[in-house]
Amino acid sequence: MSKKLEGKVALVTGSGRGIGRAIALKFASEGAHVVVNDLDEAPAAEVVGEIKKMGGDARAVVGSVTAPDFGERFVKEAMDAWGNLHIIVNNAGYTWDSVIQKMTDEQWDAMLDVHLKAPFRILRAAAEPIRILSKEEAGKGQNVVRKVVNISSIAGTGGNPGQTNYSSAKAGITGMTKTLAKEWGRYKVTVNCVAYGYIQTRLTQPLGGEQATIDVEGHTVNVGVQAASLAMMDRMIPLGRGGTPEDAAGAVYMFCIPESDYVSGQVIVCGGGYGSVM
């Protein structure tokens, strides 16, 4: 049976762990070559190794997506390795919460940098290769549809207390999605957005779990959610549970297969029925 992403080249930020890892492995299982990214070398190398074990091909670009040169390096890796790029998933991110009166400029800037400026830089870096590839394909009469999937959150579609910074950035990425869908339609690129609800990752583990903090570029950031809040979420989600990273990856995958080639500029909520966009 043919694989839906056979021969496609996919770039996935934050793919050494959690949702990004699940996306990278899903893409690879469907035949895509994958450029993996993580802040740290070990998890990125581990995912590359997993993909190669399943018979796929992958490369790693290690480092922060907020680095000024990251977008150029990320795109260059795909072009150098395979001479093409078909799918870009802007997934990397984390939360750094506080109520607004206690939120620092540093917290605000960090969220805007990772969730909004980094995707902007990556897509800007990809614009010229995509333009050239699209023109060449049109000249040969080839119909190649490329895919961009940006990651938002129900915090961005409906707000969330303690997350003025994160919610603002995630709302911003939906605006970027809708604008780029209009700009890049001429290149046969669909641009869509997945807004996640409660997905079970290290960032949403119960407080007091195995990992209470994460280190991000010199910052120690608390992670985890009150157990009572998680239990309440489970009750409020119509499907009765939080999503898995594999559930989250499936929503992204839907936007990357040929069946969605005429869907662009859309935001879907992957939340088990909770937090649907009105």
Q: How far is CA 261 from the centre of its chain?
A: 19
> Phi and psi at residue 182, in whole multiples of 5°?
-75, -40
Active-site entry in 166, 187, 196, 253: 166
**Residue 231 to residue 119: CA distance in whole angstroms:** 33
* First-residue to last-residue Cα distance in the chain: 38
C-beta of residue 15 within 8 angstroms of C-beta of residue 37 = yes
CA-based nearest residue to 93, from 118, 69, 73: 118
Q: Classify burial at 50, counting beta carbons within 10 Å of its beta carbon; exposed 0-12, middle 13-18, buried 19 or more.
A: middle
Instruction: Respond yes or no: is residue 166 known to be catalytic.
Output: yes
Catalytic residues: 166
